[in-house]
Amino acid sequence: MNTEMNIWNVKFEDIIYNSSGPECTTLAHLNALWASSSSAIMIKSCSPEPRDGNPTPRYVETDLGSINSMWLPNLWYKEYIGYIPKLKQDYKKPVVCSIVGFKPQDFYDLVTAFQQDSDVDMLEVNLSCPNVVGKPQIAYDFEASEEIIKNICAIPGDKPIGLKLPPYFDPIHVDAMANIILKYDIDFVTCINSVGNTLIIDPETEQPLIKPKGWLGWLGWDYIKPIALANVRWFYKRIWHKTKIIGCGGIKNGVDVFEHLLAWASIVQLGTILAKEGPGCFARISREFQEYMDKKWYTSLDEIIGNLKEL
């Protein structure tokens, strides 16, 4: 089966690449991803200044996934802009960069820099991580989200812009964000980021697994797949006619990819499994997806994407 996919003017040779999360912060990480079967390279969410992130332990793997409170460690957006030309020259894959800010002007400045002064192929604007004390996560503050989205969409440039969204748990909140997206030129949305503010306790040590933020962290992998699938489907029903959907959350094998496509994702990202297994996960999961499609006699992605059967 041909698994090429276009996200507007950007061509992906396959439907699987990495999320902005583990193993994409340093140049060594990026080189390893480029040498893998990942169809693109996503660069870690970058900020106006370098960040060390939270104290350790801040990431722990579990049987069902992972919990983390990394708090956006990254090398600085100008460092990543400098990496992009060589990565594209050496490996000929699309480069997607995630950007993050702590106030509206940060988002405007970083999108401007990547639109006008970089060779990046796509921008994923992370509205689902940082927040100001006393205010909700950005994507849960719809007034703040619209201000950011309106401003970044007005910046000249031809690079597709998407949003990394948090999990929504009520259709009314999905409607609120979808209505904003429909007003502006947002090319794709990624559903979802990790599920935040959770606590995992080790009963043997009688301690939490991570230290930062009062021991609260963000869940990935098996814990969140049903939530991710619901968000993909919810947004499909509201914005499918103008905005692509990228599925992210709980993908560890080819069947998980298939489920995200049925829900209406056009392409998927891998996070926790990359941290657990390393870059070899891309080839394995792509092969498993192809084998499962052969078993079900599917011959094209068009037969699968969005075709979740009604009960």
* pLDDT at 141 (0 to 100): 94
| Short-list 222, 218, 225, CA closest to 263 | 225
Q: Quick check: is 129 catalytic?
A: yes
129 phi, psi to nearest 5 deg = -130, -70
Angstrom distance (rounded) from CA 195 to CA 67: 9
Q: Which of 24, 97, 129, 281 is catalytic?
A: 129
* pLDDT at 133 (0 to 100): 55
* pLDDT at 131 (0 to 100): 59
Angstrom distance (rounded) from CA 295 to CA 155: 46
Peptide bond just before 279 cis, omega within 30 deg: no
* pLDDT at 91 (0 to 100): 85
Token readout for 194 is 């990790």
Q: Which residues of the chain have pLDDT under 70?
A: 130-135
Token readout for 14 is 């396959």
* pLDDT at 89 (0 to 100): 87
| Dihedral sign, Cα of residue 309, residue 10, residue 41, residue 102 | negative
* pLDDT at 90 (0 to 100): 85
Quick: pLDDT tens for 21-72. 999 999 999 999 999 999 999 999 999 999 999 999 999 999 999 999 999 9
Structural domains in the chain, sorted by start: 5-54+72-196+221-303 (3.20.20.70)
Task: Please tell me what DSSP assigns to residue 166.
Answer: -
Q: What is the pTM of this model?
A: 0.96
Token readout for 68 is 């983390």
Residues 6+ apart with CB under 8 A from 202: 208, 209
Cα–Cα distance list, 239 to 52, 176, 280 (Å)? 36, 12, 33
* pLDDT at 13 (0 to 100): 96
